[in-house]
């Protein structure tokens, strides 16, 4: 396997594991309110952005139109959101928070944000900013479907070079990683 491919695979596995670990920390708090992370994302988007179409919501929370319809249906059944015709363009239907939905998101969002901050506290503020920049760059590149690697040289990771790390596969010499998954030469057997 080419080194660039192996490095990409190792980074992907680490990104996936970190994402799963953070979700595992925040999901129980949301479950207490009967919400999934995506449902909370919809409520939060409506709270901060105001009424949005299904398509706009789907782009904000990264879900398909079909899934968005199901999410909005469930939130609507609970009385947290409602669909309204756009007054300027009656072909458009917008989703907006109800009073109950607004009260819920106002009540739970500060705790949710604190849970995320706690889960991310393994990185300094500077490291979190760098991670955010790198992830934005990665997401934009992946969304474009480009075949040309952006940076395949070790110099691009110089700011992180003096940080201590576990071995390159994220596991110990037995092949077990901290999250309990097995690895074979850096490839997750069960992510």
User: Domains of the chain (ranges plus CATH)?
Assistant: 1-32+164-191 (no CATH), 33-112 (1.10.10.10)
In sequence order, which residues have a C-beta less than 8 Å from that of residue 183 and are 6 or more positions away?
A: 13, 169, 170, 171, 175, 176, 177, 189
> At 178, is the pLDDT very low, low, confident or very high (cuts 50, 70, 90)?
very low
Q: For the whole model, what pTM was predicted?
A: 0.70
- Calculate the average pLDDT of the chain: 80
pLDDT tens-place string over residues 3-25: 999 999 999 999 999 999 999 99
**Residue 56 near residue 89 (C-beta atoms within 8 A):** no
Q: Are 92 and 86 in contact (CB under 8 A)?
A: yes
Model confidence band, residue 162 (pLDDT cutoffs 50, 70, 90): very low
pLDDT tens, position by position, 94-123: 999 999 999 999 999 999 999 999 999 999
């Amino acid at each position: 396997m080419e080194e660039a491919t192996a490095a990409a695979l190792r980074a992907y596995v680490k990104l996936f594991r970190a994402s799963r670990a953070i979700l595992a920390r925040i999901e129980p708090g949301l479950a207490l309110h009967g919400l999934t992370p995506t449902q909370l994302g919809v409520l939060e988007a409506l709270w901060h952005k105001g009424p949005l179409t299904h398509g706009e919501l789907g782009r904000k929370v990264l879900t398909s139109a079909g899934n968005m319809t199901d999410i909005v249906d469930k939130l609507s059944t609970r009385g947290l959101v409602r669909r309204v015709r756009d007054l300027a363009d009656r072909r458009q239907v917008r989703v907006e928070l109800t009073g109950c939905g607004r009260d819920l998101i106002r009540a739970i969002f500060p705790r949710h944000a604190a849970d995320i901050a706690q889960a991310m506290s393994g990185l300094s503020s500077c490291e979190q900013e760098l991670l955010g920049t790198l992830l934005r760059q990665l997401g934009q590149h992946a969304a474009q479907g480009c075949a040309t690697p952006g940076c395949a040289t070790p110099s691009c990771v110089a700011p992180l070079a003096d940080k201590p790390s576990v071995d390159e596969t994220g596991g110990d010499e037995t092949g077990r990683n901290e999250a309990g998954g097995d690895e074979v030469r850096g490839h997750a057997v069960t992510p």
